[in-house]
Amino acid sequence: MVGAFYLKGIGGVSADPAEAAKWVKKAAEQGEPSAQILLSSMCREGTGVAQDPVQALMWLILASNGAPEAKDLRTAQEKDLSPEQIEQARQMARDWKPRSS
């Protein structure tokens, strides 16, 4: 929630994409599917983080385990990537381990 507040500039804070990315990534790294979907979007667009379509796909792959809506997003995003990029994202997802707070 804190990341979304910073992303949109609501809840008494100014919009700050970099600060939003910090909080969203923290939740995504703990395995929160909605944060993983949001971080994927931020990586795809380069909002608050470096633009990285492979990293974006990796977060969607991870989110697919807990959020069915991520599967459609994942399918759409894969259309824009090469087979090598898709395999790289899949390998990153296989190697990923959630972090504790």
**pLDDT, tens digit, 9 for 90 and up, residues 23-70:** 999 999 999 999 999 999 999 999 999 999 999 999 999 999 888 889
Q: Hey, where are the domains in the chain? A: 2-95
Sequence-distant (6+) residues with CB within 8 A of 41 are 47, 56
pLDDT tens per residue, range 62-94: 999 888 889 999 999 999 999 999 999 999 999
Measured CA to CA in angstroms, residue 38 lies from 11, 46, 72, 90 at distances of: 18, 12, 14, 18
Report the top-level CATH class of 2-95.
mainly alpha
For the entire predicted model, the pTM comes to 0.89
User: What is the chain's alpha carbon radius of gyration, rounded to the nearest angstrom?
Assistant: 13
